[in-house]
């Protein structure tokens, strides 16, 4: 993989400013993304030239996204806002790589502030992502709602995400509004109030959307997992039945995707160890292994033992090529 989660470090680092380098800007995130896209394309070109004709070599970029549901499925504007949200976040990076240019839905809201690709750069981009050696890396975690209705004032989406129904509001599908609550209820089990709610169906929706729009040769789920929901004490986090449930339910949706013919070739857990999590530092524990950060002692959690049992059941020797039915059975 060349670059991991450009949305995270471009949007959060050069727009909102909560991640390094801490820049707060209205449009600098698009400059960041533009250079990331070109850097990946040039790196893939070198990789392709170096290993052309040799089997087993693959390369891709990792795009993170949590696929949403329309807040009101019977509202055409909310339904449209789902597609727009995906294009403005996934398409920001994937459209140039597969099609040579940014999606119109992004151009409409950025205008002159969105950088442009030269004709030569467009050809370079398209020659990479559509090459058989290219893979699509996908990081995904939780679910959310989006709505075309614009809030009248700022709210805390952590606990009051159902505020969109309060009074008359402007409607603008080009500016999707994120919600985690509807009618006072969260969209799923809460792991991180600001963004991670368990919604296994989003995995299937995500894979379907990527496959339909880009038709990548291969998809690898390069991150999926959950932290301890509000507790980091040793006894609580080591006996992590909630994490086992999370993996089982999400893997079931991966199996559905494979049965539909979506070319998922791999699934990677986030993460092997408790670690330093972006701006959250050591306060979030995503690992299958508990780490005492003072002594560095490692203790496998219940989820690690569950994965070990699953992998042993599958066998250590896994063939390189699967039929759709065999791959689906693997994920089940």
Ordered DSSP codes for 52-72: TT-TT--EEEEEE---EEESS
Active site residues: 5, 223
CATH placement of domain 6-66+84-141+192-331: 3.20.20.80
CA dist 206 and 73 (Å) reads 17
Supply the Cα-derived Rg of the chain in whole angstroms.
20
The residues with which 291 forms a beta bridge, in sequence order, are 298
- Give yes or no for residue 323 having a pLDDT over 90: no
Q: What's the pLDDT at 137?
A: 98
CA dist 289 and 177 (Å) reads 36
In this prediction, residues 83-104 reach a mean pLDDT of 98
pLDDT digits (tens, 9 = 90+) for 289-304: 999 999 999 999 999 9
- Confidence label for 165 from pLDDT (cuts 50, 70 and 90): low
Q: Is 200 buried (19+), middle (13-18) or exposed (0-12) by CB count in 10 A?
A: buried
Q: What's the pLDDT at 158?
A: 42
- Give yes or no for residue 166 having a pLDDT over 80: no
Higher pLDDT, 71 or 310: 71
Number of DSSP helices (H) and strands (E) in the chain, helices first: 10, 13
C-alpha distances (whole Å) from 296 to each of 34, 240, 290, 305 are 39, 20, 9, 20
Question: Which residues lie below 8 Å from residue 243, measured CB to CB, with a gap of 6+?
Answer: 225, 226, 228, 288, 301, 302, 303
CA dist 23 and 15 (Å) reads 6
Q: What angle do CA 301, 305, 309 make, to 5 degrees?
A: 165
- Confidence label for 159 from pLDDT (cuts 50, 70 and 90): very low
Which percentage of the chain shows pLDDT scores above 90? 81
Q: What's the pLDDT at 156?
A: 40
Nearest to 136 by CA among 254, 222, 258: 222
- Confidence label for 53 from pLDDT (cuts 50, 70 and 90): confident
Question: Which residues lie below 8 Å from residue 154, measured CB to CB, with a gap of 6+?
Answer: none
Q: What's the pLDDT at 151?
A: 84
Give the predicted TM-score (pTM) of the model. Answer: 0.91
Higher pLDDT, 56 or 321: 56
The mean pLDDT value of the chain amounts to 91
- Confidence label for 138 from pLDDT (cuts 50, 70 and 90): very high
122-131, 138-147, 255-264, 318-327, range with the lowest pLDDT: 318-327
Cβ contact 201:143 at 8 Å: yes
- Give yes or no for residue 160 having a pLDDT over 50: no
CA dist 114 and 104 (Å) reads 11
pLDDT digits (tens, 9 = 90+) for 113-137: 999 999 999 999 999 999 999 999 9
The residues with which 170 forms a beta bridge, in sequence order, are none
**Residues present in the chain in total:** 332
Domain ranges across the chain: 6-66+84-141+192-331
CA dist 203 and 197 (Å) reads 12
**H-helix or E-strand spanning residue 179:** strand 177-179
177-179, strands of its sheet edge to edge: 68-70, 144-147, 177-179
- Give yes or no for residue 110 having a pLDDT over 70: yes
pLDDT digits (tens, 9 = 90+) for 62-77: 999 999 999 999 999 9
């Amino acid at each position: 993989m060349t670059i991991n989660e450009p949305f995270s470090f471009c949007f959060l680092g050069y727009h909102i400013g909560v991640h390094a380098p801490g820049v707060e800007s209205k449009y600098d995130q698009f400059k960041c993304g533009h250079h990331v896209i070109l850097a990946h394309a040039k790196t893939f070109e070198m990789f392709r030239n170096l290993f052309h004709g040799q089997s087993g070599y693959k390369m891709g970029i990792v795009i993170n996204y949590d696929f949403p549901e329309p807040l009101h499925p019977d509202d055409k504007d909310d339904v449209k806002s789902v597609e727009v949200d995906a294009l403005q976040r996934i398409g920001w990076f994937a459209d140039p790589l597969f099609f040579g240019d940014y999606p119109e839905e992004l151009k409409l809201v950025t205008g002159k502030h969105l950088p442009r690709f030269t004709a030569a750069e467009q050809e370079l981009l398209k020659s990479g992502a559509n090459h058989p050696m290219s893979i699509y890396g996908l990081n995904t975690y939780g679910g959310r709602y989006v709505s075309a209705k614009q809030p009248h004032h700022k709210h805390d989406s952590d606990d009051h995400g159902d505020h969109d129904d309060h009074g008359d509001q402007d409607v603008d599908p080009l500016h999707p509004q994120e919600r985690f609550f509807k009618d006072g209820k969260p969209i799923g089990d809460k792991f991180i109030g600001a963004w991670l709610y368990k919604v296994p169906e989003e995995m299937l929706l995500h894979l379907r959307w990527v496959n339909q729009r880009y038709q990548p040769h291969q998809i690898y789920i390069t991150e999926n997992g959950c932290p301890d929901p509000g507790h980091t004490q040793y006894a609580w986090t080591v006996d992590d039945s909630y994490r086992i449930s999370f993996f089982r339910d999400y893997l079931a949706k991966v199996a559905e995707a494979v049965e539909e013919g979506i070319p998922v070739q791999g699934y990677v857990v986030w993460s092997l160890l408790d670690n330093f999590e972006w701006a959250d530092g050591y306060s979030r524990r995503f690992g299958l292994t508990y780490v005492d950060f003072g002594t560095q002692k490692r203790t496998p959690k219940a989820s690690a033992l569950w994965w070990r049992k699953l992998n042993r059941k599958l066998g250590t020797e896994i063939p390189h090529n699967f039929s759709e039915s065999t791959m689906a059975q693997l994920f089940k």
